[in-house]
Structure 1
């Protein structure tokens, strides 16, 4: 029987990072992945492929609507969805092969198959050909991730009534895509097909899109996406989804309790994700799950069985790839006897629409509910020379600071390259910077990042220079 110091079950951004860090720390490490490619949901059917399609569709959108403004005159472009999907697959293939290279480089033993507990220290690997192999491991890290959720009354046929996984591999551009759910996944994939020519209707149960983010971001993104042609039906609860041939009908009730019906050729169910533990047999190891099927852990991501840890989407908290990666590193270092930490308040969230949306820290609504005295600074992207030069004038940056200490408590932004700009806010808040600290830092001109300086200046009570 093969013996390892640490075995990681699942090779997503949490699992493969945990395995690499364990190997770096000198542990004999194994990783178990049931699919033939490494990288989990994120690299195969999530973060990476969706961004590839977002980029391709954005290029098409610019060619069709924006190039002429820059003096670039071309014939009417045509979207080739099959080539876009093929390119997406090429990006995925390159990325997953990169993870396999890292496994080899770090001398991590890879098992292809389903990992299931036989006991707290023994794991059975059931391979695709039906054969099995049992390994012994001193420590185990569960990193099995999540899968798309649905509603109890919706039958996913994965042809016309689909999840994000199928939406990444469509062979045609929908005429009318109905998106159930106004969160990150629904808006990103809705944006892809809206740019390619689909009519896109979003049906959201809550009274705003991206409901967990700052209200100002929700309001601005709603306005921008409506301007782009996306339709929203908020405070609308779906009652049923029925398919008849190539037509799908969604029946819902609006906020007045009146029935509304939407008809399209595809329905994307994007109501969130749920933890995935199928086949793991945690009961044989004595590991507890909570009422939502997540692996229960303490503040060190340790389960009730002391040598077994769990990270990423399979545990409580935001389902974010970078959060899983940080947890993978943390657990590896804890096993090595180090004292790492994660400040979960400073894990940024991003929506890759265009303009992008990003945030870190607490929202204005949260801080007011907690009774914290705050001051808020805002700066519109359209006031930047860089934004006018590129034509990306939608959005703003909002800096929230403590009224007494001036410490930055939250940064919320929507605009070009917000996904990259948010890193400045994360660094500032990790070092407990004040709004004045940021306002006195030199920012290169002309850049989108200047909006961060100006918003921080506004939060100090002084007037922003350029607005």
Structure 2
């Protein structure tokens, strides 16, 4: 029986980061993972492969629509689907292999197999039982489905199946207008598929600033995606490799159907904790199946912690990473802190959409007085030169103190630009602080500065 200071269950972003941080802080660490490769859902069947597909299809879009304008003449590229999937798989292999290298570098033991916790202080993997002073659960999440919708990962797929289809579908129906559905819908729309998104709510991207969401939907519609909103899916029937989706419109309860070659179920994710033995241990769970933890990520059972998608909060890889670092540092006797008010969110379509902090809607609900500073990318020289003038930067500040409360960007490189505002918010900066910071010209980031100027006396280039 081997003994460790910490055993982490799950090698996704929360788990592998926690394991490496524990090792850096001088602890003897093991990480349990049953997949053939490390990195969890994110690196294997989520964030990383989907970004590879988004990048490849964006290059196709550029070649088809913008190359000739720039004087790049020639035959438009054709799609070699098998090669595109191979590129995606190579991207996965490079990243998962990188985590394995980091484990070896930091002397983290990889316990290969699926873990269970027979009692506090012990983790069983296969036939072997290992002892640990501390156990961190970072087992992640799995795709959630709907009643009446049976996933076979061939015709009716989750994001996992959507990343390895045998061929490009002529018609794709996406159930759910959240991040996953819109990203993968964009991929297949660029590849020539007819894409229709069915959403239960009356707007896409629930929780997003409504002005951004409306603009985003217009842009996606212009790109060829179709939307059926306010629709409750009743079921999906598969016959002869074709799927029929039945749904009811909430406004009048009328029933409708649509057929597709492939149906992508993108209705969110749920914590994956089965098989860990938590019920037998008496670990407290929420009604949503999340593990209950305190401010230090400890469960009600001494020595057992949980992070990432298994606990409350947004199911984001970077949120899990922050929590993995925090619990490691807490075990080491430090006093870490995760600022949940400054966790960005990004949708990697084109244009990208990014946000952090409050929306106009949440500020109104709080009764808080605020100011808005906006700047369109059409006023940004770099964006215009790169056919990326759609969208804008929007910064929300306290009406009295000018302190930045939130920001929302729809436009080129939004997922990178948002971090300048995250750093500003982390230090309690005002919009004026951002506006008085010199930004290189010509860069997309100048649009952020202009939006900050618009919170005061006004943008220069608007």
TM-score normalised over the length of structure 2: 0.99
Q: CA deviation at 1:163?
A: 0.3
Which residue pairs with 2:224 in the alignment? Answer: 229
Supply the distance in 2 between the matched residues of 1:370 and 1:306 (Cα, whole angstroms). Answer: 37
Which residue pairs with 1:163 in the alignment? Answer: 158
Aligned to 2:7, the other structure's residue is in SS state strand
Once the two structures are overlaid, the 10-residue window that deviates more, 286-295 or 44-53, is 286-295
Which residue pairs with 1:129 in the alignment? Answer: none
Match 1:360 to one of 331, 338, 356: 356
Aligned to 1:207, the other structure's residue is in SS state coil
User: Does 2:108 match 1:143?
Assistant: no
Which residue pairs with 1:22 in the alignment? Answer: 22
User: Does 2:176 match 1:184?
Assistant: no
Does the 8 Å CA contact 1:401/1:459 hold for their aligned counterparts?
yes
Match 1:245 to one of 240, 249, 252: 240
Supply the distance in 1 between the matched residues of 2:67 and 2:216 (Cα, whole angstroms). Answer: 23
Deviations 1:219-257 (A, max 9, x none): 111010011111011111111211111211111122332
Supply the distance in 2 between the matched residues of 1:162 and 1:345 (Cα, whole angstroms). Answer: 34
Match 2:401 to one of 364, 380, 405: 405
Deviations 1:4-42 (A, max 9, x none): 000000000000000000000011001000111000000
User: Does 2:283 match 1:287?
Assistant: yes
Does the 8 Å CA contact 1:346/1:429 hold for their aligned counterparts?
yes
Aligned to 1:118, the other structure's residue is in SS state strand
Name stretches of at least 5 consecutive residues in structure 2 with no aligned partner. Answer: none
Supply the distance in 2 between the matched residues of 1:341 and 1:317 (Cα, whole angstroms). Answer: 15
Supply the distance in 2 between the matched residues of 1:463 and 1:99 (Cα, whole angstroms). Answer: 47
Does the 8 Å CA contact 1:13/1:322 hold for their aligned counterparts?
yes
Supply the distance in 2 between the matched residues of 1:290 and 1:424 (Cα, whole angstroms). Answer: 35
TM-score normalised over the length of structure 1: 0.98
Deviations 1:383-442 (A, max 9, x none): 111111001011100000000000000000000000000110100000111111111111
Name stretches of at least 5 consecutive residues in structure 1 with no aligned partner. Answer: 127-131
Supply the distance in 2 between the matched residues of 1:337 and 1:101 (Cα, whole angstroms). Answer: 27
Which residue pairs with 2:264 in the alignment? Answer: 268
Does the 8 Å CA contact 2:147/2:234 hold for their aligned counterparts?
no
Deviations 1:354-400 (A, max 9, x none): 00000000111000110000000111111111111001011100000
Deviations 1:320-348 (A, max 9, x none): 00000000000000001100101101000
Supply the distance in 2 between the matched residues of 1:246 and 1:116 (Cα, whole angstroms). Answer: 38
User: Does 2:147 match 1:152?
Assistant: yes
Equivalences for 1:83-162 in 2 at 5 Å?
A: 83-126=83-126, 132-162=127-157
What RMSD over aligned residues (CA atoms) do the two structures have, in Å? 0.8
Aligned residues: 461
Deviations 1:67-100 (A, max 9, x none): 1111111213211111111110001001101100
